């Protein structure tokens, strides 16, 4: 293959698409969404937002050693009684995709020498009947795995200057094979570039050392699978492929203005370093300086009731709870959800003497609400209903159990649903000791709303709709 052909192919393949690496966080008013990977606070992915260099150029020279063939480069049985040395060189454009994986577009050129003698400086004799050499050009795409970044211990705080890489890829291999014997030197085989029989594969490892911010040294050993049984110049009958090792020494120049190349970045080491820095900082955050003298779980710094009785439930401000707002805190109130005078331990002394709704102020059954399209009594309603049982049984009056709905769905459907809710509450009260003769279940659908502004044409908040889905009492 001519050099110009390889250079042209190399130039056509250069525009690799830039791939992911860290970007610099910024503040924005956008809400995080699916398309921002958990946060909208990032720059658009541009060249200016990158933290690391991710392009490089590599070049090196070495020695190809044909070993799996009829004619070999090193002493191997009767086919090669002496060592014959060829040469090789490579040039590649490297793109880091992540800290542990990259791609290389690589051009190789070289000449293997094999057989009984070096065809460049000796002639065939009876003692050295045949020698061969093969000039080759290759273009391949290699995957580059940074094994050190995958296997590196996270607690290793030593400078990161050595890295072990693994390479593998496919490409096109063109060559001309020559042999020399008593009849003279002649070409015995030729493969054109990019033909169907020119495909080959290679893989191996390389050990890199970071010389400077921009320059790395590398020793590499690759194994080349040619897929051709005449690469050594001799058409074989027992072998399927002539393969060779390629040992090289090279340099890599990391292109870019940043301090580090992406392949030399260790994210786990960076994370542990930041954790160590935070751990070393003395963060003296003193909480609850004044203590909690009444032991209600609210610091005195923001406790609005510093003498809460022991055992009383409190709100976030440290004030003892009074659920029915009758002036008797729940700790001492024997009728927690039914208001009553202090002298009767917070319980009512008698039932209502005049008709009408038991209002929101008394809160006798306030809070009995239902899920949308449901007449099932919620677990949160059970304590309120149990207190209502005691209240009804302590009075001589009779009551209507009135069911309601919100304004969604049709009038007929809501009327039926409200009746079901009223029946459900009545049945619960009767099953738990209330005389059924004192109760009447009435469904009023959406005709008697707690929040009448929630008509069908008005979009109400859900908490108002839920309050309208209720059951309440009326004294008969």
Structure tokens at 345: 């331990």
DSSP state at residue 434: -
Q: Using H for helix, E for strand and C for coil, what is the string for 203-252?
A: EEEEEEEECCCCEEEEEEEEEEECCCCCCCCCCCCCCCCCEEEEEEEEEE
Q: Helices in 139-200 by DSSP H: which ranges?
A: 147-151
**Host H or E run for residue 23:** none
The whole-angstrom separation of Cα 34 and Cα 26 is 18
Tens-digit pLDDT string for the chain (476 aa): 444 444 344 344 433 333 344 434 444 455 455 454 444 555 566 666 678 889 999 999 999 999 888 888 888 655 567 788 999 999 999 999 988 999 999 999 999 999 888 887 766 666 678 889 999 999 999 999 999 888 877 666 677 889 999 999 999 999 999 998 888 889 998 999 888 889 999 999 999 999 998 999 999 999 999 988 899 988 776 667 899 999 999 999 999 888 888 888 877 767 776 777 777 665 655 677 778 888 888 888 888 888 888 888 888 888 888 887 777 888 888 888 777 777 777 787 654 444 444 444 343 455 577 777 788 888 877 877 888 888 888 877 888 888 888 888 888 888 898 899 889 998 999 998 888 888 899 988 888 788 788 777 667 777 778 878 888 888 77
Query: Positive or negative, the Cα torsion across 130, 193, 9, 217?
Result: negative
**Residue of 92, 86, 431, 410 lying closest to 250 (CA atoms):** 92
Distances (CA, A) of 294 to 13, 291, 327: 76, 9, 20
Q: What does the pLDDT look like over 259-312, one tens digit per residue? A: 888 888 877 767 776 777 777 665 655 677 778 888 888 888 888 888 888 888
> Quick count: other Cβ atoms within 10 Å of Cβ 398?
14
233: left (phi over 0), alpha (psi -120 to 50) or beta: left
**Residue of 97, 90, 95, 106 lying closest to 10 (CA atoms):** 106
Distances (CA, A) of 149 to 80, 118, 145, 269: 41, 43, 9, 10
* Contact in structure between 298 and 315 (CB atoms under 8 Å): no
| Residues linked to residue 218 through DSSP beta bridges, in sequence order | 208, 250
Structure tokens at 30: 């956008």
* Contact in structure between 60 and 110 (CB atoms under 8 Å): no
pLDDT at residue 3 in the model: 42
Structure tokens at 249: 């020494």
Q: What does the pLDDT look like over 96-122, one tens digit per residue? A: 998 899 999 999 999 999 988 888 776
**Residue of 425, 370, 428, 377 lying closest to 402 (CA atoms):** 425
Distances (CA, A) of 292 to 285, 308, 310, 331, 405: 17, 11, 12, 19, 45
pTM above 0.85, yes or no: no
């Amino acid at each position: 293959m001519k050099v110009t052909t390889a250079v042209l192919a190399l130039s056509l393949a250069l525009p690799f698409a830039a791939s992911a690496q860290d970007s610099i966080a910024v503040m924005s008013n956008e809400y995080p969404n699916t398309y921002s990977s958990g946060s909208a606070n990032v720059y658009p992915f541009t060249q200016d937002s990158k933290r690391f260099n991710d392009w490089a150029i590599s070049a090196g020279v070495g020695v190809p050693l044909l070993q799996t063939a009829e004619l070999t480069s090193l002493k191997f049985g009767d086919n090669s009684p002496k060592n014959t040395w060829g040469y090789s060189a490579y040039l590649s454009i490297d793109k880091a995709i992540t800290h542990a994986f990259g791609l290389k577009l690589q051009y190789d050129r070289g000449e293997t020498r094999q057989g009984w003698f070096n065809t460049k400086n000796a002639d065939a004799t009876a003692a050295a009947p045949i020698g061969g050499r093969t000039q080759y050009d290759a273009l391949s795409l290699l995957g580059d795995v940074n094994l050190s970044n995958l296997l590196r211990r996270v607690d290793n705080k030593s400078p990161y200057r050595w890295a072990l890489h693994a390479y593998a890829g496919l490409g096109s291999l063109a060559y001309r094979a020559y042999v020399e014997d008593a009849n003279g030197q002649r070409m015995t085989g030729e493969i054109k570039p990019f033909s169907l029989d020119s495909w080959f594969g290679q893989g191996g490892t390389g050990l890199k050392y970071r010389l400077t911010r921009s320059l790395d040294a590398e020793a590499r050993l690759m194994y080349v699978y040619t897929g051709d049984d005449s690469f050594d110049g001799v058409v074989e009958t027992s072998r399927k492929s002539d393969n060779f090792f390629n040992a090289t020494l090279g340099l890599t120049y990391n292109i870019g203005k940043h301090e580090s190349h992406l392949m030399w970045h260790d994210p786990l080491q960076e994370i542990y370093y930041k954790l160590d820095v935070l751990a070393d900082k003395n963060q003296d955050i003193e909480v609850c300086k004044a203590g909690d003298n009444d032991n209600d779980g609210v610091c005195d710094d923001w406790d609005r009731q510093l003498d809460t009785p022991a055992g009383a439930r409190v709100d976030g401000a440290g004030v003892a709870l009074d659920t029915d707002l009758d002036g008797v805190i729940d700790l001492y109130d024997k009728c927690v959800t039914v208001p009553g005078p202090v002298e009767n331990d917070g319980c009512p002394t008698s039932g209502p003497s005049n008709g009408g709704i038991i209002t929101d102020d008394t809160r006798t059954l306030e809070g009995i609400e239902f899920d949308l399209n449901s007449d099932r009594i919620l677990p949160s309603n059970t304590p309120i209903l149990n207190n209502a049982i005691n209240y009804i049984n302590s009075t001589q009056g009779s009551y209507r159990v009135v069911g309601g709905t919100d304004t969604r769905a049709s009038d007929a459907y809501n009327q039926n649903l409200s009746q079901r809710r009223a029946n459900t509450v009545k049945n619960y009260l009767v099953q738990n000791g209330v005389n059924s003769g004192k109760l009447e279940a009435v469904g009023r659908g959406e005709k008697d709303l707690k929040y009448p502004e929630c008509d069908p044409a008005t979009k109400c908040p859900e908490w108002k709709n839920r309050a309208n889905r209720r059951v309440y009492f009326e004294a008969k």
